[in-house]
Amino acid sequence: MHDYFKFLPMLCLIASSAAQAKDLDKNDIGRCSWGGSMMGLAQSQFLAGKPLAKLLGEMQQVKYPEDWMAGDMKNIVQATYENNLRDSPEKIKAAFIEECIQYHLNQ
Confidence of residue 23 (pLDDT cuts 50, 70, 90): confident
For 55, counting Cβ atoms within 10 Å of its Cβ (0-12 exposed, 13-18 middle, 19+ buried), the class is: buried
By percentage, how much of the chain surpasses pLDDT 70? Answer: 79
Identify which has the larger pLDDT, 100 or 1: 100
pLDDT digit string, tens, across residues 27-69: 999 999 999 999 999 999 999 999 999 999 999 999 999 999 9
Closest CA to 8 of 106, 105, 98, 107: 98
Q: Is the pTM of this model over 0.85?
A: no
Cβ pair 73, 87 in contact under 8 A: no
Cβ pair 52, 58 in contact under 8 A: no
Q: What is the mean pLDDT of the chain?
A: 86
